[in-house]
């Protein structure tokens, strides 16, 4: 009985199984545009999961970008997923507010920021994030470092 249920589940849900999965960080080039997969997994579906709306010759790529947003690229014709160069490690987007003139020492709620803390800017990191080293001292947060 369990075998039958498993077979039926796969029969109706196999188009939602990625054809390729890799662990971030990765560089993605899709139809000539470049993206950064910063956290989690890069899933490639072929064809796209919404088969009725896409060609069997297109791909769908899902990943989490350098802002922490889930991205879903559909109907991609040509793509490449590659390792970042060791000489240029990938990082989360550095917010413009993380600069030497920003000498804050507390969060908006008044709590003291501890050296080494990752500070998220904007709503849920939509402006980026940075590691606080001290007043006016910030550095990028490397991809693969999970803040959530």
- Res 13 pLDDT > 60: no
- Res 141 pLDDT > 80: yes
Mark 88-112 as b/e (b = at least 16 C-beta within 10 Å): eebbbbbbeebeeebeeeeeeeeee
Is the CA virtual torsion 45, 46, 50, 54 positive or negative?
positive
Give dist(CA 67, CA 129) in Å, integer: 8
Q: Would you say 58 and 77 are in contact if contact means Cβ atoms under 8 Å apart? A: yes
Q: What is the pLDDT of residues 77-118, one digit of tens each?
A: 999 999 998 888 899 999 999 999 999 999 989 999 999 999
Q: Would you say 46 and 59 are in contact if contact means Cβ atoms under 8 Å apart? A: yes
- HSE-up of 76 (CA within 13 Å, CB side)? 24
Backbone angles phi, psi at 52, to 5 degrees: -60, -30
């Amino acid at each position: 009985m369990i075998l039958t249920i498993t077979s039926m589940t796969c029969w109706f849900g196999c188009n939602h199984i990625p054809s390729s999965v890799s662990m971030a960080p990765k560089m993605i080039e899709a139809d000539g545009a470049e993206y950064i997969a910063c956290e989690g997994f890069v899933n490639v579906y072929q064809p796209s999961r919404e088969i009725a709306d896409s060609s069997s010759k297109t791909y769908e790529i899902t990943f989490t970008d350098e802002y922490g947003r889930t991205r879903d690229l559909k109907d991609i014709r040509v793509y490449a997923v590659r390792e970042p160069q060791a000489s240029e490690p990938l990082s989360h987007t550095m917010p413009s507010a993380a600069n030497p003139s920003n000498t804050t020492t507390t969060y908006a709620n008044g709590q003291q920021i501890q050296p080494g803390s990752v500070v998220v800017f904007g709503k849920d990191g939509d402006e980026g994030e940075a590691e606080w080293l001290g007043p006016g001292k910030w550095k990028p947060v490397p991809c693969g470092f999970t803040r959530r």
